[in-house]
Amino acid sequence: MSVSIVYAILVTSLATFLSRILGALSSERIKETSKIFKWFNCLAYATLAALIARTIIFPVGVLSDISYLIRLIVVVLSLFVFFISKKNYVYPTIFSAFCMALLSNYF
């Protein structure tokens, strides 16, 4: 294994764990009901929503071969499963993978 790969792994690990440690230390003083906490929470959800929308609307790789209609059907059905399963994330995630595989092979 190359020395530069080892250095890259060490630096990224240090950056990851350093940010987590600083977050854990500073989280004691932040209240969950504070405006700054709510703002960061909204920012995180907005970023996640933008990434999901980008993946669905402008896919890269194998997903780009699947039509928009099939992607839209999978999203709608997965949202339906999400609300039926009392907002559980596991069931719609697994369902969407199977549904995408089935619909892309048969249509």
- Mean pLDDT taken over the chain: 90
Q: What pLDDT, on a 0 to 100 scale, did the predictor assign at position 1?
A: 57
Quote the pTM value.
0.62
> pLDDT digit string (tens) for 37-84?
899 889 999 999 999 899 889 999 888 889 999 999 999 999 999 999
Our measurement of the distance from residue 90's CA atom to the centroid of its chain's CA atoms, rounded to an integer in Å, reads 13
Who's near 31: CB < 8 A, 6+ residues apart? 37
Highest-confidence segment of 18-22, 24-28, 84-88: 84-88
Q: Between helices 68-84 and 90-106, what is the axis angle to 10°?
A: 150
Q: Where are the domains of the chain?
A: 1-30, 31-58, 66-107
